[in-house]
Structure 1
Amino acid sequence: MIVITGAGGRLGRAVVDALLERADPASIGVSTTRPEAAAALAERGVRVRRGDYDDPSSLVDAFADADRVLVVSAPRIGPAALEAHRVALDAARTAGVSRVFYTSHVGADALSPFPPAVTHAATEVMLRDSGLPFTALRNGFYADTALRMATTAASGGELRAPRDAPVSWTFHRDLGPGIAALLLDETLELPAVNLTAGEAFDMAALAAATSGILGREIRHTVIDDEDHAAELTRGGAPEMAARMSIGLFQAARQRHFGIVDPTLADVLGRPTTSLRDVLAVSLAEAEAEAAAQGAAA
């Protein structure tokens, strides 16, 4: 049996959906803090059990009879996230899991200025020290961030961002089936796998792509890190989110996020999703919505 944690989240659910296309539902289990929200999966034959990082015994029960477990990184920060991951690994060991998969990041680094990257690096050390066979899935940076920045820039005619470097913006629509394929590969013994898009974009390239799609110039303006944080907080973002955004750009400048690896495309058996293609759709939808709002005003 393969058990997925965080099945109520976007990535966890994408993996479960992909597994359901390739495997017997009875061979799939999910661990979730809200089993009632996974009733549709239970109706399809998926084993649904409550699993809570704050209740270690519940995770042992959720992992029972599992050959492989995917630990989706906890939606927590710093020490709280590490404690959650430690609880999950202890539960996997107690339950007799044969291999643990963990959703890490290509930028995992103990010295990274991007806080989640530090957590991922520490968790990978925890995996190595656990005595459990494991595979760290080093996902590329989620493409939602790039799409959001481009859409905002399209509405104002300017993409304002700190100095940066290329990032391999990666889509859930690729990671879900890619991770599912790796979970089903019983020959896999690699301790780490990079799962990234097939190309990397910096902010200048993102602005250029947006300009090309819209047929009008979207300026790329480089601003100071602190000015970027101030603009975000003025727009209503929490201070922590603003500091996290600065960390993203600082880590990008250190070339932590620009890794382009063919593994995900190889596993999928097709090219990874094109950022330009999805951006074109997103921008068209945003333009249509703006036009509709203007007509209704």
Structure 2
Amino acid sequence: MNIFITGATGQLGTYVIDYLQQFAPQAQLFGLARSTQAAQKLAKKGVIARRGDYAEPASLVTALTGMDRLLFISVPQSELQANVVAAAHQAHVGFIAYTSINGIAYPKVGLEQNHRQTEALITATGIPHTFLRNSWYLEMETNPFKAALATGVYDTLSQGKVSYATRQEYAEAAARVIANPQFGAVVELGRDAFTHRELAHALATATGQPLSVQQVDAATYQAWLAPYTATNFETAMQAYVQHGDNGEAAVTQTTFETVLGHPLNSLVDAIRTIL
């Protein structure tokens, strides 16, 4: 069985490869490489590199020829994603698992539009597929965690509910789906939704450091976070995510745990893995 992974040299792809080598040791793994350096990195992990570029459709067809399954790790540009889908169709790929976004029916700072379009394109090909609708990455909180631990105060912008999981947790789910495609066309992946006040309490428990929590305005939040981030974008993103009107209040981890075949780590333990 030949399994192809796009984004194979990225953080998520690297975790996926590690898991696939556990879950599907009989499979031959392939990865997309745009450079000699990327190809060498894949070779060191026992992955066959195939040269390809999202902006060069013909190269994608060549790269995907002979593949039984494709793990399509999404990119922000919809036109590049369309090239991958078209190439998979032309190369007669047998199955696609695609990393999409949870709450796709809601505004997601524009991210939902790309994922909706790509899901529609994949569906139109008739290729059997699973859409891995991931919630937010817990790693998004790395800088706020640093600010909280440095100041002893966890500033929040809102008390809307959100859902986070770690990159490694999403990678394990992706690997299990591509190794054993039995979970249907859509899986919604995320941890039970919680507020940022609850997240702050979990951080305090994970580190043993007492933290006070206060809800503040955007200017105060930006001043609190500024020493740990280079741009104002992170504040704007946090304001959106923390508001919580994004379909995540209803997220539960039941489906995630079904895909994994075991319980998720507690939020406290998940935090410890990224500190």
TM-score range, shorter chain: 0.7 to 0.9
Q: CA deviation at 1:257?
A: 6.0
For the 8 Å contact 2:147–2:224, the answer to whether it is kept is no
1:9 corresponding residue in structure 2: 10
For the 8 Å contact 1:229–1:245, the answer to whether it is kept is no
Q: CA deviation at 1:2?
A: 1.1
Q: Secondary structure at the match of 2:214?
A: strand
Q: Structure 2 vs 1, CA of residues 282 and 7 (structure 1 numbering), >3 Å: closer, same or farther?
A: closer
Percent of residue pairs bearing the same amino acid type: 29
Question: Equivalent of 1:89, from 81, 85, 98?
Answer: 85
Matches within 5 A, 1:152-231: 152-186=147-181, 188=182, 190-197=184-191, 199-215=192-208, 217-225=210-218, 228=221
Matched, 1:276 2:257: no
For the 8 Å contact 2:188–2:256, the answer to whether it is kept is yes
2:256 corresponding residue in structure 1: 264
Q: Secondary structure at the match of 2:164?
A: coil
1:104 corresponding residue in structure 2: 100
Q: CA deviation at 1:184?
A: 1.6
- Could you tell me which amino acid in structure 1 is paired with residue 200 of structure 2? A
Q: Structure 2 vs 1, CA of residues 226 and 64 (structure 1 numbering), >3 Å: closer, same or farther?
A: farther
- Could you tell me which amino acid in structure 2 is paired with residue 20 of structure 1? Q
Q: Structure 2 vs 1, CA of residues 235 and 169 (structure 1 numbering), >3 Å: closer, same or farther?
A: closer
Q: Structure 2 vs 1, CA of residues 228 and 108 (structure 1 numbering), >3 Å: closer, same or farther?
A: farther
Distance, in Å, in 2 between the alignment partners of 1:258 and 1:146 is 21
For the 8 Å contact 1:203–1:220, the answer to whether it is kept is no
For the 8 Å contact 1:68–1:97, the answer to whether it is kept is yes
- Could you tell me which amino acid in structure 2 is paired with residue 39 of structure 1? Q
For the 8 Å contact 2:162–2:242, the answer to whether it is kept is no
Q: Secondary structure at the match of 1:253?
A: coil
The number of aligned residues is 274
Q: CA deviation at 1:200?
A: 3.0
RMSD after superposition: 2.7
- Could you tell me which amino acid in structure 1 is paired with residue 254 of structure 2? P
Q: CA deviation at 1:225?
A: 4.3
For the 8 Å contact 2:97–2:130, the answer to whether it is kept is yes
Q: Secondary structure at the match of 2:162?
A: coil
Q: CA deviation at 1:228?
A: 4.0
For the 8 Å contact 2:155–2:215, the answer to whether it is kept is yes
Q: CA deviation at 1:155?
A: 1.1
Q: CA deviation at 1:213?
A: 4.5
- Could you tell me which amino acid in structure 2 is paired with residue 191 of structure 1? A
1:289 corresponding residue in structure 2: none
- Could you tell me which amino acid in structure 2 is paired with residue 219 of structure 1? S
Q: Secondary structure at the match of 1:201?
A: coil
Distance, in Å, in 2 between the alignment partners of 1:7 and 1:277 is 26
- Could you tell me which amino acid in structure 1 is paired with residue 259 of structure 2? V
1:73 corresponding residue in structure 2: 74
Distance, in Å, in 2 between the alignment partners of 1:213 and 1:154 is 11
- Could you tell me which amino acid in structure 2 is paired with residue 129 of structure 1? A
For the 8 Å contact 2:135–2:190, the answer to whether it is kept is yes
Matched, 1:131 2:126: yes
Distance, in Å, in 1 between the alignment partners of 2:113 and 2:225 is 23
For the 8 Å contact 1:26–1:45, the answer to whether it is kept is no
